[in-house]
């Protein structure tokens, strides 16, 4: 029992050390990045990530970036513009497509940005079907406010100065200077 406890403790310490080294690499490259731990940030290539000045990431956010993945030929990547705030418990999946977030954006809590989806084919096991390469990536313009609990699906572009209401599901492009909400999201008005 004691040996099992020691082995588990050593395993946890090694995992913690790997996370600390990974976090240290992020802070060395982007010294103005503000992360409130815990944040999970697995990545395979630091060069696939670009972060602007004064970016803040709240706790319990998971940011998953993989430049290469066997399921897709489309490279993954993440770019976050200056002075952008990402709220707690966010889910950013920059795999099988790039996620680009502009500057001065406000991304509220529990927001999901998904760069790719699995293929769905009759008779195939979805987990083994590979990824859809026809709709990939997410682009968020500058000065965009995304409300709590919003999901932005692959292939969507959100224009500058747009607002997306809480709980919305974005399935298509959102023009600049507009306010959208709903499931699926639809235009409510223009920003005045």
Active site residues: 118
Four-residue CA torsion sign, 80, 46, 171, 108: negative
Residue 148, φ and ψ in degrees, nearest 5: -60, 135
Cβ neighbours of 145 (radius 10 Å) = 17
Peptide linkage before 38 cis (omega within 30 of 0): yes
Residue 52's SS3 state is: coil
What gap in Å lies between CA 27 and CA 34, rounded to an integer? 9
Cβ neighbours of 45 (radius 10 Å) = 13
What gap in Å lies between CA 91 and CA 109, rounded to an integer? 9
What gap in Å lies between CA 78 and CA 74, rounded to an integer? 13
């Amino acid at each position: 029992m004691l040996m099992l406890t020691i082995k588990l403790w050593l395993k946890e310490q090694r995992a913690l050390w790997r996370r600390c080294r990974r976090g240290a690499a992020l802070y060395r490259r982007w010294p103005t990045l503000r992360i409130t731990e815990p944040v999970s940030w697995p990545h395979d290539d630091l060069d696939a990530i670009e972060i602007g000045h004064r970016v803040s990431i709240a706790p319990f956010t998971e940011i998953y970036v993989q430049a290469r993945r066997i399921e897709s030929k489309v490279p993954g990547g993440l770019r976050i513009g200056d002075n952008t705030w990402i709220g707690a418990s966010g889910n950013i999946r920059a795999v099988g497509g790039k996620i680009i977030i502009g500057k001065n954006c406000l991304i509220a809590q529990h927001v999901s940005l998904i760069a790719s989806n699995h293929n769905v084919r009759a008779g195939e096991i979805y987990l083994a079907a590979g990824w859809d390469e026809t709709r990939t990536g997410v682009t968020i313009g500058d000065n965009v406010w995304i409300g709590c609990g919003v999901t932005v699906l692959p292939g969507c572009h959100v224009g500058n100065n747009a607002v997306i209401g809480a709980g919305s599901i974005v399935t298509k492009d959102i023009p600049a200077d507009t306010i959208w909400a709903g499931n699926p999201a639809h235009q409510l008005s223009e920003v005045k």
